[in-house]
Structure formats: C-alpha cells, structure tokens
C-alpha cells in the first residue's frame, strides 16, 4: 500500500476546520494517549499492589498478635496507638491501590515511587 502524504487526499475535512478546532483535537488525542498509558501502567502495577497489601495485612496481624501476647516494644506500641489510647495498627498502615502507587510515579515519568525525606522535629 502506498503512503499518502497529501493531506487534501488523506483527510480533506481537516482543511475545513479552524486552528482552534485543530488544537482542541490535538489536545483531546494527547489526553486519550496519556489515559491509555496510565491504564496500561496501572494494570502492570496490579500484581505489585497485591503483594504490598498482603505484606501490610501480615504486618498488622503480626503486630496485633505481639501486642496481645505482651511482646511488643513499647515505642512501637505507642507509635501504633491512637490519641484515645486504642491500639490500631490498621490506621497507620492502610491498604493501597494502584492509583496510590502510580500517582507519584507518573508525576516525574519515573518507574520508581518518589521517596520523601522526613524532617525531624526539634
């Protein structure tokens, strides 16, 4: 099949559109491409999210078991206790979803999550 390089033969309707309409169409196409890339990346990250959620569930279960048995370090217990004095590790370590993992990745275009540095309070 021969390539057609003349726009009047390939898509003559585009010649009738205004510049603003063409720019709007370009923007819509770019948005659709970005959305498709995001959805594809989200599907790739799904297995990683399952592993993360399984690890969080195991951590919360293990910490609760250690607390009930009285073998949990007091500093860890204090960190996982609410202001009302209720031991709730599930509130500190919540389940994640693909969107929560991807948003920091997609911001810079990197494949690795952004790491933030904690600031010590003086």
- The predicted pLDDT at position 21 comes to 95
Region 30-37 average pLDDT: 93
Dist. CA 69–CA 62, nearest whole Å: 11
- The predicted pLDDT at position 27 comes to 95
Region 10-35 average pLDDT: 93
- The predicted pLDDT at position 105 comes to 58
**Per-residue buried b or exposed e for 88-113, using 16+ beta carbons within 10 Å of the residue's own CB:** ebbeeeeeeebeebbeeebeeeeeee
Judged against a pLDDT cut of 60, whether residue 114 lies above it is answered with: no
SS (H, E, C) 19-46: HHHHHHHHHHHHHHHHHHHHHHHHHHHH
Q: Tell which wins on pLDDT, 90 or 19.
A: 19
- The predicted pLDDT at position 104 comes to 64
| Model confidence pLDDT, tens digit, residues 46-100 | 888 899 899 999 999 999 999 999 999 999 899 888 888 888 888 877 888 888 7
Can you give the residue ranges of every domain in the chain?
22-108
Dist. CA 67–CA 79, nearest whole Å: 12
Dist. CA 112–CA 110, nearest whole Å: 5
CB 115 within 8 A of CB 109: no
């Amino acid at each position: 099949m021969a390539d057609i390089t003349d726009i009047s033969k390939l898509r003559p309707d585009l010649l009738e559109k205004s510049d603003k309409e063409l720019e709007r169409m370009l923007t819509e196409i770019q948005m659709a491409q970005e959305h498709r890339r995001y959805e594809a990346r989200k599907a790739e990250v799904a297995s990683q999210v399952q592993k993360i959620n399984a690890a969080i569930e195991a951590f919360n279960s293990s910490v609760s078991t250690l607390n009930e048995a009285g073998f949990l370090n007091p500093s860890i217990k204090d960190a996982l206790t609410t202001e009302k004095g209720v031991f709730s590790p599930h509130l500190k370590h919540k389940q994640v979803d693909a969107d929560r993992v991807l948003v920091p990745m997609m911001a810079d275009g990197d494949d690795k999550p952004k790491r933030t540095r904690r600031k010590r309070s003086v």
